[in-house]
Amino acid sequence: MLTDFYPNIEGFERTKSEVPDTFEYVSESVDAANVPNEFNGKLRTIFGAFHHFRPESARKIIQNAVDSDSPIIIIEPVGRNFMSFSPDFYSAECDSFTPFIRPVRWSVLPFIYLLPLIPLYVLWDGTISLFRTYNINERKALIASLNNSEKYHWEIDQTKGAMPINYVVGFKKK
C-alpha cells in the first residue's frame, strides 16, 4: 500500500497499469507522523527518503509507529561514506537517471547534454542528501528519545561493504 504526503496519482496509476495486482495506493495525503488508524499494526517502510525529515519530524514518524504498535523499516541506500561521495557514483547517477526525469521535453535536452544544469542539480541534491543522512549514532539517539521504545526490538545498523546501506528495523516485542 503506497502512501505519500503528496501522492502522485498519475505515477501510481501508470505503474499500476504496468504491474497490475502488485500494489494498492491511497489517493489522499498521508502524513507519516500521523498515519490514519486504519493502518495501525501494519508494516511501515521508508526507503531512501528518511533524510528528508528533520530530527523532530523523524522522531514523530517513528513514535507514531510505536504508538500504533506498527513495525517499521527505514532504509537509506547511501550515507556519509567515501563511496557515496565518489565522483564515479555521481557520474553514473547523473548519466543513468537524468534522461529518465519526467516529463522529457525537447526543450530540456540541451540542459542535460549541452549545458548540464539538470545533472548539476542532481549532483547538488545528491550531495546535500548524503550530508542529511542519519548516521548510526544519530539513529540510535532518535530511538532513545522515544516514549515506550523499550516495548520494541530495534536493529539500528548498516550493511558491510563499499557502499553500506543504513537501516532501522523496529517491531513490538512479544
Condensed to tens digits (0 to 9), the pLDDT of residues 142-164 reads 999 999 999 999 999 999 877 78
Distances (CA, A) of 99 to 12, 92, 120, 144: 20, 12, 13, 42
Q: Return the domain boundaries, the chain.
A: 31-80+134-174, 81-132
What is the Cα–Cα distance from 3 to 31, expressed in whole angstroms? 9
CA atoms lying within 13 Å on the CB side of residue 168: 30
What is the Cα–Cα distance from 86 to 89, expressed in whole angstroms? 5
**Class of the domain covering 31-80+134-174:** alpha beta
Local confidence band at 112 (pLDDT 50, 70, 90 cut-offs): low
Condensed to tens digits (0 to 9), the pLDDT of residues 29-88 reads 999 999 999 999 999 999 989 999 999 999 999 999 999 999 999 999 877 766 666 655
pLDDT of residue 103: 67
Cell 550531495, residue located: 127
> For the whole prediction, is pTM greater than 0.85?
no
Q: Is 165 left (phi over 0), alpha (psi -120 to 50) or beta?
A: beta
Distances (CA, A) of 68 to 58, 110, 149, 159: 16, 49, 12, 28
